[in-house]
């Protein structure tokens, strides 16, 4: 994109309106004319080092004295040069993240529809022992970059090495987990290779004819689901939320190709220094890994209602979740929040108590195997998608359920 902005001297009256309204302080007034001239006036001047070409000054100017031209520079991409589906095999302290196996499952489906291969990229230190585990999960090829410099994740070197590998091998699709690590450097990689990136995807499909990846994610605060394409650029990149897809099944001793990717670490950009890793040791159940989750929402009516939710969760040996409404009301910590702006869960059993089921919440739990909904409103979305819908007052239903569970276990 080439941007050209200029002030038309014959139209500018020096009213200072654009100067006061520019959010980037990129406009100043320059006094024109010399002391010998009777006519002296002010002219708006734009600092191109500060200007972001947002166009606000043009909308403000009543005299049409500012002109902005945006010319797109078309970069021709030969899409035929790009082949294969890649999954970034995120690891932390030598252990492959669980989300990688979910991405491999989806990656196999996409590769199958495109008639191409599935590959994984593994970056770390002393991590060769983890390669076979990726191959067992369906990978045909693993690119391994193993060096002590990658012992801890840092944005700069990881971005550098993945960018170089992509430019060399040219995959057509790259999937990365929407984790703290993935979110941190996926956008950096996309910017380096001049392609698009769709974040926090909950669904992926591919058109076998155009080979465009259909990347679906919540938009406009979760009120709609948007499907995004990258038709003019390659590779197509997406980060995917945890627990959205099922894990790929392991087939022991599968055969696959291992490619050692060597990089001159002296040439890698690294503007930060790793000081240390502090592990969070609080005794809190990991919602994303729980087999049973009991969640409370606005229907609880007050903070005290979560005592009942926690009691039911303890009886079921599960974890406690919550809707955003309950968290925003201050009834429970945001560490328990499930949904678009919280955690994504896919337990064997999900119990929704007093949760109507807005799309923002559904995004975070609709992959659950069994959904039990307890609500007074039989027509609310959560009751409609539930495997078992219990209509009624949760303060009457839940105590009865707890009593029955305790009675069953005492037999």
| Dihedral sign from CA coordinates of 132, 137, 143, 147 | negative
Going along the chain from its start, the domains and CATH numbers come out as 2-71 (3.30.70.20), 79-267 (3.40.50.620), 287-410 (3.40.50.1220)
Whether residue 238 contacts residue 216, with contact meaning beta carbons closer than 8 Å, is answered with: no
- What value does the mean pLDDT take over residues 404-409? 87
| DSSP conformational letter for 16 | -
- Name residues whose C-beta falls within 8 Å of residue 387's C-beta, 6 or more positions apart in sequence: 370, 371, 372
Radius of gyration of the chain (CA): 27
pLDDT tens profile 5-49: 999 988 998 899 999 999 889 999 988 765 554 555 789 999 988
Q: Which two tokens stand for residue 339?
A: 């949904």
Residues in the chain, how many? 411
pLDDT tens profile 246-284: 999 999 889 999 999 998 888 888 888 888 888 765 556
> Is 161's pLDDT higher than 70?
yes
Backbone angles phi, psi at 249, to 5 degrees: -80, 145
pLDDT tens profile 324-365: 999 999 999 988 999 888 888 989 999 999 999 988 898 889
The predicted structure's pLDDT at residue 33: 64
> Is 219's pLDDT higher than 70?
yes
The predicted structure's pLDDT at residue 81: 94
Residue among 272, 262, 265 nearest 155 (CA):
272
Pairing of strands 141-146, 118-124: parallel
- What value does the mean pLDDT take over residues 134-154? 94
| DSSP conformational letter for 404 | H
The predicted structure's pLDDT at residue 238: 97
- What value does the mean pLDDT take over residues 180-195? 93
**64-78, 306-320, 359-373: lowest mean pLDDT where?**
64-78
Between 114 and 253, residue with greater pLDDT: 114
Confidence of residue 397 (pLDDT cuts 50, 70, 90): very high
The predicted structure's pLDDT at residue 221: 63
Angle of helix 394-410 relative to helix 305-316, nearest 10 degrees, comes to 30
Backbone angles phi, psi at 68, to 5 degrees: -125, 130
**1-10, 116-125, 183-192, 321-330: lowest mean pLDDT where?**
1-10
> Tokens 């999960």 belong to which residue?
137
Peptide bond into 235 cis (omega under 30): yes
> Is 181's pLDDT higher than 90?
yes
| Dihedral sign from CA coordinates of 245, 251, 256, 259 | positive
């Amino acid at each position: 994109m080439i941007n050209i902005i200029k002030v038309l001297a014959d139209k500018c009256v020096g009213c200072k309106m654009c100067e006061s309204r520019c959010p980037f302080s990129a406009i100043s007034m320059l006094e024109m004319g010399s002391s010998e001239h009777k006519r002296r006036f002010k002219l708006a001047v734009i600092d191109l080092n500060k200007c972001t070409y947002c166009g606000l000054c043009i909308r403000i100017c009543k005299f049409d004295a500012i002109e902005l031209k945006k010319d797109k520079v078309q970069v021709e991409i030969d899409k035929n040069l790009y082949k294969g589906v890649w999954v970034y095999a995120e690891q932390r302290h030598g252990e492959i993240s669980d989300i990688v196996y979910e991405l491999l499952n989806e990656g196999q489906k996409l590769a199958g529809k495109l008639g191409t291969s599935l590959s994984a990229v593994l970056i770390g230190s002393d991590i060769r022992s983890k390669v076979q585990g990726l191959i067992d999960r369906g990978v045909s090829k693993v690119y391994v970059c193993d060096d002590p410099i990658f012992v801890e994740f840092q944005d700069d070197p990881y971005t550098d090495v993945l960018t170089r590998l992509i430019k060399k091998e040219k995959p057509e699709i790259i999937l990365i987990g929407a984790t703290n690590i993935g979110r941190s450097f996926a956008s950096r990689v996309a910017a380096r290779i001049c392609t698009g990136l769709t974040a926090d995807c909950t669904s992926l499909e591919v058109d076998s004819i155009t080979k465009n990846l259909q990347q679906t994610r919540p938009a406009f605060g979760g009120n709609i689901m948007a499907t995004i394409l990258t038709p003019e650029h390659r590779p197509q990149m997406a980060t995917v939320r945890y627990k959205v897809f099922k894990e790929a099944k392991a087939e022991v001793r599968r055969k696959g190709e291992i490619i050692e990717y060597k990089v001159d670490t002296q040439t890698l950009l690294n503007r930060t220094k790793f000081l240390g890793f502090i592990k969070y040791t609080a005794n809190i159940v990991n919602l994303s890994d729980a087999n049973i989750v009991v969640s409370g929402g606005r229907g609880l009516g007050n903070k005290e209602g979560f005592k009942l939710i926690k009691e039911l969760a303890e009886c079921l040996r599960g974890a406690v979740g919550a809707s955003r409404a309950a968290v925003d009301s201050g009834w429970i910590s945001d560490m328990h929040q499930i949904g678009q702006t919280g955690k994504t869960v896919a337990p064997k059993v999900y119990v929704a108590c007093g949760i109507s089921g807005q799309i923002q919440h559904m995004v975070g739990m609709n992959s659950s195997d069994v959904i039990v909904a307890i609500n007074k409103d039989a027509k609310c979305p959560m009751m409609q998608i539930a495997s078992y819908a219990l209509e009624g007052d949760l303060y009457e239903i839940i105590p009865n359920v707890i009593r029955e569970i305790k009675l069953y276990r005492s037999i």
